[in-house]
Structure 1
Amino acid sequence: MTLQLSLFGPFAAALDGRDLKITSRRSQAMLAMLALSPKHSIARDRLAATLWPDRGEEQARASLRQELSSLRKACGRAETIISADGQYVRLDVQVLDPDFGSPDEGGFLEGIDLMSEPFDDWCRETAARLDDGNREESDVSQAVSEHDIFTNPTVLVAALVAASTSEEDQAFATGLVVDLRTCLSTWRWFPVIGPEAVGWQTEQDGNLREIATSVHADYAVSGAIRRAGDRIRVSASLTEVATGHLIWTETFDGDMSDVFEIQEAIGRCVVARFTPEIARAEAARVKRQRPSDMSAWQLVAQADEIERNGGAGYGSPESNALQVPLYEEALRREPNYTQALARLSRFWFRSALLGWNEDRTSSMERARALAEQAVDSDPMDWESHGYLALTLIFGEHSFGPGKYHATEAVRLNPSAPIARHALGCSLEWLGEFDEAMRQNELLLQLNPNYPNRAAVLGQMATCLLFSGQVEEATRIARELRDIAPSYSRGLQRVAITLGLAGAIEEAEAALQKVHELQPDFDAAYVAATYPYAQPEHKNMIFDGLHRAGWTG
């Protein structure tokens, strides 16, 4: 059973291709709001207040009950797709087609006028987001960014040199460069490679030109930071990698409270060296939400330093756990601090994905709730959208909303590898393999040393396989096997790919290693964690495993 909604132009709904006669405009509005809600559920009070703002609370709730009854009847045999309890109204995500149409077909919810200011506000905000996300559906790179940033010079942001080796100064330098990288990325006019791509090397750790050349950067931002009490001095430079020419250098002095102005000033100076007309026209773009309590920012910077030194991949469970009380304290001081919420969501997502917590479901739910709170706090924060996308994709198999939030994350920060990873995941499960490949290729261009490179290679191997590029899929599967011989998830992809490619002995060996690493590897696990939208793709997964000798 599939529910299809057309939300651009005149509203239309169909069930398995047959039109549903939903004539009530409030029912149409309610269905659209549920379909586009990240959790596909909305509190009764909110629905009542949005659809009947001119009525008292009790009268509005009574109107909602009546409208729900009418909507269910209009859905006919599919009435169960809409459920409700005393608090929430829900739409069954499993039956929802994630394609809601595009702005080319007309205005968003064209013709639905409820004489409701709250509903009009929701329509304007939602239409703006969907318009960005659907602007060029056939080309994801255009859909997520107004400009193809990869046609412009690439900038490496190297780690800053701290004046002392104290933990406090090192953490401050890490926090500043992480924010500076994001500050530059939000211009969305050129690719920005972060310090993690070169192992957090500073200009003192080697030849800056060689470091930048290793990731194919055209320019490198480097610098140093010195602190004395509450006073800070940041020196920053921009170097042309090919010639070694120092294009710009400047020193910034200020108090701790000036750290955000310093970041933005460096960002403007760097951008002005490339496209001064853009710098003049769009200087406001680098403005980001700031905590009112600087001590909250310092706590997040300390956590960033622990993350930097936490080990390969996603870091050790111990290093991740050390970050949690810092984020929680930051949120105690600044309750809606978006960065702290997003990073705490990251911890719980990793806990669920990697099994650090026995109750994976509750960990994923906690991650999603924190990401939702972060998005509500700052809808322009790319990281919040990125982790909300991942929790929706992996936790609920909600690929349509997951794709939307991943697309939004890439639109807001096209230089963020994790945003492109989230988008690649959603595109793969939706069967859009060529576009998923493009996102993964750009991800590895932004960070060749991406911590979860093995997962990306596994995704690429499967996408190539499903696209008929068996030889290249086999090559990547073997590379994955060689670089991550103890990564069960990756070896599953290796066994599937090599099994379908006819390399049976290698496939059998990979599958045997999977069983050693993951004794509970069974059909239920495969069905739950390879959630392709199209049955034929899931069947190919099972076929590949069976060819590798699997009896599950």
Structure 2
Amino acid sequence: MEKFERIQCDLAEYKITLEFPGRKAPLVVYFDTPSRRFYFSIIALIITEMKKQEGPGFVHMPRHKDILRLLDKSLSGKKASENVEGMWAKINMAWRNRLPDLESAALFKVLDRDLVSPYEKGGKHRYECSEEECDVWAGLFSYDENNKWRFKFAFDSASVGLNDVSITLGSLRDNSAWAEFINRLSGKSEADQILIEPRDKATAELSSKYSSSRARSRKVMWGLAAIVVTAIIVAIGWRLTIYKTHIPPESVDLSLSVYPLTDKPSLAVLPFQNLTGDPQQEYFSDGIADQLITSLSQAPYLYVTARTSTFAFKANPMQVQEIAAKLGVQYLLEGSVQRDKDRVRIHVQLIDGRNGNHIWAETYDRNFSDLFALQDEITMAVMAVLNVQITGYATGALKYSRPTSLNAYEHYLKGLYYHLGRRPEDVKRARQSFEEAVHIDPNFGRAYTWMANTYLDEIDLRLTTQREQVLEKAEQAVSRALAVDPDYPPYGTMSRISRLKKDMENAIVYGRKAVQQAPNDSGRHYMLCLALDGGEKFEEAFHSCETALRLAPFRPVNYVLELAWSLVGKTQYDTSIPLFKEVIDRSPQSFYAYLAYKGLTAAYELSDRHVDANLAAQNVMRMNPNFSLENESRLSPAKEGPFKQRMMNAYRDAGLK
């Protein structure tokens, strides 16, 4: 059987060029109608994602729902799907039936073959093509037999190497070509998307020349395409704003979830409703749900989605089946809390995410003084219903560091409420609540741990100029936590402290132990990623960040940011750039955006995109006019070594001083 030598997808002309060995001219497949262009873009998307994976693995299509919606609306013209379900049906039909059939499907127009007379009723045309060539083409359209929404463009079946498959858009190739293609469809040019106006005349001239060149290229390419593109600003993928889609109420196919289901029971605890009638009690209902997440996360045989993702539904109610699909879980736990003086009533119900059926429900009406026992009872009941094995360690962990005073516990919940908001102005408010908790109960170990984290937040968010003194206070709080609660060391916080002291060896050790304590806690995997990046173990860091994001499907921006830095460490600069842009796009005025601009500066400079690097560097100065390489070297948690030196050189070459 014949194999390909090279495969090229041209995004400017919507064509795929296939080079066969010994063939005089390549076979060119044109996608020359709006609906065909959409199908072509699906192939290009899958190839791009496979290149990011650095291998011929499957691509889980529902992860890219928003991009696919953009492609459908922008390219399909009048045949664009009215809803998501219609789009999935169209994609499924094309990938399995229409695209593989190069011989007889009406989808194609093969320009270098002579047209043969219609061969069957209905007027379909057959394009003369050797049987072997067409069979090789058909073999490219592969999907996972165990998950119908995992596709791949199986170039490996045609003996083509990854480097011999390319995506082009003018002079751009692969990830850069695809990113620019998407930016144009969404009404953004690469320069306009993230860069500010130049700060001086010389840079202005350089930027003007760069923009003019882009404009000329855009005019030529899109004149060939001859389509009208509606400007769309797309929130790509995983923002905390949820968009409603029409999912049938009776059932949902969880294979369409954002992430494939795990091989163990998977659960998301949704925010509990506050039925007290007092908005000031919101911290209490949130705290009950949050503590259930913490307790359930101790079980290694249960997958529990992170709070950051489940709490995104607090202001965006929707059908439970859709929530389960978005979070990639089988089960949902929802409930309500009502508190009246010395009584507390908690109603909980466990729901099957596939069909919305209630599996189990219970209402607990107890004295407020029995709150801790009640939380344990609910946790154990959920595990029993799901038939989850409860290890001795997990059973003991449910009761770790309980205060003797419920008043102290209330202050602790308030502190978590402020801390988990991740806003700089709430850092001191959170600490004050934890201080109140330990003032009431000096043996409340967890309150000391979270107090330490508020000091570390001051350092990480650059809210203090007294770094050493603040770090010492954090260490003192952790020492106190260990003294009163030696059976449950705060390894995650200890990893943070070691990393900020640039003791990466211990930061990694503590990070690993933190993950062992609570394998479902996304924050612990994120802390381990930070430590591994700091220790220049970038491959392992990348996988830790991916795990954190699997546990938090709505992609906290700090997780995305660290994943991008892991890719920079792996020298995958083109792959890191869209992630840095995602952070900026989602949180443009935050400290994380500032860190992302630094990442973009380095990634652009190290990939020889010097103009982009210079403009990104200007954004660094815009957000922090006091930036200096000297301070950056001193404050960076990265250890002294080749990676840190590479970053400092990149900053300097991009114009930072």
Conservation of the 8 A alpha-carbon contact between 1:203 and 1:222: no
1:524 aligns with 2:613: no
Q: How big is the shift at 1:150?
A: 4.9
1:231 aligns with 2:330: no
Give the Cα separation in 2 of the matches to 1:288 and 1:546: 49
1:477 aligns with 2:580: yes
1:493 aligns with 2:599: yes
Change over 3 Å in CA distance of 1:389–1:279 after alignment to 2 = closer
Q: How big is the shift at 1:250?
A: 1.3
User: Which deviates further from its counterpart, 354-363 or 246-255?
Assistant: 354-363
Q: How big is the shift at 1:206?
A: 3.0
Q: How big is the shift at 1:192?
A: 1.3
Q: How big is the shift at 1:500?
A: 0.5
1:360 aligns with 2:486: no
Change over 3 Å in CA distance of 1:371–1:449 after alignment to 2 = farther
Pick the aligned partner of 2:384 from 272, 275, 278.
Answer: 272
Give the Cα separation in 2 of the matches to 1:168 and 1:480: 32
1:170 aligns with 2:282: yes
Q: CA RMSD in A?
A: 2.6
Alignment correspondent of 1:42: none
User: Which deviates further from its counterpart, 462-471 or 211-220?
Assistant: 462-471
Pick the aligned partner of 1:422 from 503, 523, 527.
Answer: 527
CA offset digits 1:2-51 (Å, max 9, x no partner): xxxxxxxxxxxxxxxxxxxxxxxxxxxxxxxxxxxxxxxxxxxxxxxxxx
Alignment correspondent of 1:413: 518
1:341 aligns with 2:417: no
Give the Cα separation in 2 of the matches to 1:407 and 1:372: 20
Which letter does structure 1 place at the counterpart of 2:355?
Answer: T
Q: How big is the shift at 1:456?
A: 3.0
CA offset digits 1:60-86 (Å, max 9, x no partner): xxxxxxxxxxxxxxxxxxxxxxxxxxx
Larger radius of gyration: 2
Provide the identity percentage.
21
Give the Cα separation in 2 of the matches to 1:279 and 1:398: 33
Q: How big is the shift at 1:212?
A: 3.2
Conservation of the 8 A alpha-carbon contact between 1:161 and 1:204: no
1:459 aligns with 2:565: no
Conservation of the 8 A alpha-carbon contact between 1:174 and 1:304: no
**What stretches of structure 1 of length at least 5 have no aligned partner?**
1-148
Conservation of the 8 A alpha-carbon contact between 1:430 and 1:532: yes
SS in structure 1 of the partner of residue 400 of structure 2: coil
Alignment correspondent of 1:213: 325
Alignment of 1:56-67 (within 5 A): none
Give the Cα separation in 1 of the matches to 2:298 and 2:439: 27
SS in structure 1 of the partner of residue 286 of structure 2: helix
1:293 aligns with 2:398: no
Pick the aligned partner of 1:263 from 359, 362, 375.
Answer: 375
Give the Cα separation in 2 of the matches to 1:278 and 1:350: 34
Paired positions, count: 394
Alignment correspondent of 2:17: none
Change over 3 Å in CA distance of 1:524–1:150 after alignment to 2 = farther
Which letter does structure 1 place at the counterpart of 2:579?
Answer: I
Change over 3 Å in CA distance of 1:543–1:219 after alignment to 2 = same
Q: How big is the shift at 1:342?
A: 1.7
Alignment of 1:314-333 (within 5 A): 314-317=422-425, 319-333=426-440
Q: How big is the shift at 1:450?
A: 5.2
Which letter does structure 1 place at the counterpart of 2:437?
Answer: A
Q: How big is the shift at 1:381?
A: 4.2
Alignment correspondent of 1:6: none
Change over 3 Å in CA distance of 1:204–1:160 after alignment to 2 = farther
Change over 3 Å in CA distance of 1:238–1:441 after alignment to 2 = same
Which letter does structure 1 place at the counterpart of 2:476?
Answer: A
Change over 3 Å in CA distance of 1:392–1:284 after alignment to 2 = closer
4+ runs deviating over 4 angstroms: 279-285, 379-382
Q: How big is the shift at 1:438?
A: 0.9
SS in structure 1 of the partner of residue 364 of structure 2: strand
Change over 3 Å in CA distance of 1:390–1:502 after alignment to 2 = same
Pick the aligned partner of 2:548 from 443, 448, 466.
Answer: 443
Pick the aligned partner of 1:542 from 648, 652, 655.
Answer: 648
Which letter does structure 1 place at the counterpart of 2:645?
Answer: N
**What stretches of structure 2 of length at least 5 have no aligned partner?**
1-260
Conservation of the 8 A alpha-carbon contact between 2:324 and 2:354: no
Q: How big is the shift at 1:231?
A: 1.5
Give the Cα separation in 1 of the matches to 2:392 and 2:634: 50
CA offset digits 1:142-200 (Å, max 9, x no partner): xxxxxxx9532321111111212314532321221121111111122222124431335
TM-score by length of 2: 0.56
TM-score by length of 1: 0.66
Q: How big is the shift at 1:522?
A: 2.0
Which letter does structure 2 place at the counterpart of 1:405?
Answer: Y
SS in structure 1 of the partner of residue 512 of structure 2: helix
Change over 3 Å in CA distance of 1:341–1:463 after alignment to 2 = same
Give the Cα separation in 1 of the matches to 2:599 and 2:378: 43
1:507 aligns with 2:507: no
Structure with greater helix share of residues:
1
Q: How big is the shift at 1:295?
A: 1.0
Give the Cα separation in 1 of the matches to 2:541 and 2:335: 36
Change over 3 Å in CA distance of 1:380–1:482 after alignment to 2 = farther
SS in structure 1 of the partner of residue 327 of structure 2: coil
Change over 3 Å in CA distance of 1:329–1:428 after alignment to 2 = same
Conservation of the 8 A alpha-carbon contact between 1:180 and 1:263: yes
SS in structure 2 of the partner of residue 159 of structure 1: coil
Which letter does structure 2 place at the counterpart of 1:251?
Answer: T
SS in structure 1 of the partner of residue 313 of structure 2: coil
Q: How big is the shift at 1:366?
A: 1.1
Which letter does structure 1 place at the counterpart of 2:572?
Answer: Q
CA offset digits 1:292-320 (Å, max 9, x no partner): 11111011123333446x5xxx2132x23
Alignment correspondent of 2:269: 157
Which letter does structure 2 place at the counterpart of 1:159?
Answer: P
